[in-house]
Amino acid sequence: MAAEGADNALEHAREALGGTMVGRALDDGCYRGQNNYKVNDGYDHRCTLRRAVVIGFDGDFRERIRVLDRRLFAVGWACYRDPCPETLSGEVDAYWSLRKDEYGGAEPPTTSLPSSSMYERGNQHLDVAYVRADRAGRGTLERFHHRGRGGFFTSYERARPFEVEATLERASRFEYAVALAVETDYFEDAEFG
């Protein structure tokens, strides 16, 4: 059920962005929470899955991100806190000219732009990153399949990371590439012990 929900949410996000999928990854892990006098995670054990894709596209990057934001918010995605401090399109607008100046007036690499913290919808979290065939893009893809939430004390993990070089090679056929990931919890035990 959670896997199907995550897959559907990721497909809707991909459709909202438009473009061609050039890579896919996943992570599924169960882990122990930390509950002591300093930290209270609020769960004893939790299982979380993450599905991720990389989408390549051509055209106006800034407009595509604006449309993505509008479409995501129209179907119920929201910022991690209210009022919404940062959106993808807001950060692109805020940093585009600054980065352009840093690159001597040329269009800045998208990996130099920040992407906002996760968007949320119910128990689902959407993470977005900009990638390209540079050091920053490789680094992003090497870790982007990892779940962003959860503990370090893993009891079960199954991962299929991006094939980084193959994904970047396919992405290089397009002007831009964006990584999207949906993460959701599918088990939680709140009884400590």
Tens of pLDDT, residues 117-164: 679 999 999 999 999 988 888 999 999 999 887 777 788 889 999 999
Q: What is the pTM of this model?
A: 0.91
* Confidence at residue 171, expressed as pLDDT on a 0 to 100 scale: 95
Tens of pLDDT, residues 77-119: 998 777 777 899 999 998 998 898 888 888 888 988 888 667 9
CA 138 vs. chain centroid, Å, equals: 15
Whole-number Å distance between alpha carbons of 59 and 25: 25
pLDDT band at 175 (very low <50, low <70, confident <90, very high): very high
pLDDT band at 192 (very low <50, low <70, confident <90, very high): low
Domain boundaries, the chain: 2-189
Tens of pLDDT, residues 32-61: 888 888 988 888 899 999 999 999 999 999
How large is the greatest C-alpha to C-alpha distance in the chain, in angstroms?
Answer: 59
* Confidence at residue 116, expressed as pLDDT on a 0 to 100 scale: 67
Q: Measure the CA angle with vertex 142, ends 186 and 91; round to 5°.
A: 80
